[in-house]
Amino acid sequence: MMSFKVKLIFLLLSPLMAWTQPNYTILTNTNPHPGNLFFHVGGPPSKPVNILEASGELIYSEDLGLKGWAWQVNLNNKITYFDRQSKGWFVMDSLKNVVDSVYCKNEYIADLHDFLALENGNYVLFSYDEQEYATDTISPNGSQDETVIGLVIQELDSAHNVIFEWKSWDHFYMSDYPDINYNNNTIDFLHCNAIDIDEDGHFLISNRTISEITKIHRTTGEIIWRFGGAQSDFTFLNDYPFSQQHCIKSLGNNKYLLYDNGNRSDTYTGGIKRSRGVEYELNLNDYTATKTWDYVHPDSLFTPSIGSIQRLDNGNTLINFGNNQSIGRGSVITEVDSNNIVVFEIELDTGERSYCANKAEWNFYTEPTVELGDLNEKTSEQISIYPNPSSASFQIELEQQDEMFREIEIFNLNGEALVSMRFLEENATHIVSINEKLRTGVYIVKATSNKYSYCSRICITN
């Protein structure tokens, strides 16, 4: 029997072989946070989901078609992303298995902006809720039956039972928001684009249209406070109001981080619209808001839509300036340290934009590379496989009868395990019959005994 040497790489990242890479330029990379960067490139045609190492190397890229929106590592330490075809959220583990798919209940349709997969197995998602509304009772520009978009939030348990449902119609009144444009056929009243859980366990939502962050009691559904917009409970002490924001994050100790798109910032900046990351501390005694940090890009980037922000565990902040198409640039993802020094920056090519970008010390699981020829100097001579070639079943036999099988594995030439058999000591044997249905081709057989590991090949024919 001929001996041979083959390297088995247990790659569960097989899509890496079919690159659909985004086009980007790394502008700065100086000791950033060590986590991998997760981002999805949006816009037609469909673009890939990606994982970029801190070194700048693209280690994963796959075009998931209509899937992949809001690609990130969630609170349950699994990848989550939205499927724009089925209108559901998918949960993927480190073996690249889709372990769950989550949809709104009670005939609502999940929205793609944000989703929480909690450590306890629960899920939090939301739906836009369109209803006909007599807006002519509020504004002379209204109509008798205008379509108005409200919001429904649902928390599901691990079995997808609804354990909490909240409806905006019980808590928000259009008459409280004078800046609403009633000339549109559809009024996007509560355009929720982010949800988070505050340090006390209650919900935070970002309402883009009305420029408001709202805190909602997780049990009663009552509004705890409103921050920003026409109904704000807080007075800004040292800052101008954020507008059309994305991505609310609770930092603890009444501190909050958000991405301020700044659609109305020109009112306060001398005619220049600019986006920024900004952090506030809220005083719940006198209801004031103090800006404790912000970051404006040196190019004064203004992204009228999309964007995200993340405070990293080393104190750095990751900011995604999402939509720069009006100035002929792609998304700019910038990481700054606590002194606002840029330590990492990547810019996508014009026309390529990312809704959100996040870092995590997470990757798909990859077993170590196994050099089978080094397992035993005479690996292929210590076991017999017959008949070989085989059109169906075959036997594997140890030449030394004082050895007994402990495990048998069969791999294809891509290193993917197709068969795995383990033997207890009381059932140990030196000859095993294999009756698996394998396609035509050549396979690697790895046999582990109570003494050594061996390998050989089997050829399957029609």
- Return the CATH number at 251: 2.120.10.30
Amino acid identity, residue 273?
K
Amino acid identity, residue 225?
W
User: Which of 360, 387, 413 corresponds to the end of one domain?
Assistant: 360
The β-bridge relationship of strands 288-296 and 212-216 is: unpaired
Helix then strand then coil, % of the chain, to nearest 5? 5, 45, 50
Structural domain of 261: 8-360
CA dihedral sign of residues 382, 384, 385, 388 = positive
Label residues 228-247 b or e (16+ Cβ within 10 Å = b): bbeebebebeeeebbbbbbb
Q: pTM of whole model > 0.85?
A: no
Same structural domain, 385 and 289: no
228: in domain: yes
3-state SS, residue 423: coil
290: in domain: yes
Those residues of the chain that have pLDDT short of 50 are: 1-19, 368-379
Query: How far from chain centre, in Å, is Cα 254?
Result: 26
d(CA 183, CA 181): 6
Sheet architecture: strand order including 357-360 = 58-62, 49-52, 36-40, 357-360
pLDDT score recorded for residue 439: 84
pLDDT score recorded for residue 92: 95
Same structural domain, 400 and 329: no
Same structural domain, 337 and 395: no
Tokens standing for residue 133: 């509304």
d(CA 244, CA 255): 19
63: in domain: yes
238: in domain: yes
pLDDT score recorded for residue 372: 43
Amino acid identity, residue 401?
Q
Same structural domain, 281 and 429: no
How many domains does the structure of the chain reveal? Answer: 2
d(CA 459, CA 443): 6
The closest alpha carbon to 213, from 199, 200, 196, 201, belongs to: 196
| 87 class by beta-carbon count within 10 Å (0-12 exposed, 13-18 middle, 19+ buried) | middle
3-state SS, residue 16: helix
User: Which of 326, 360, 394 corresponds to the end of one domain?
Assistant: 360
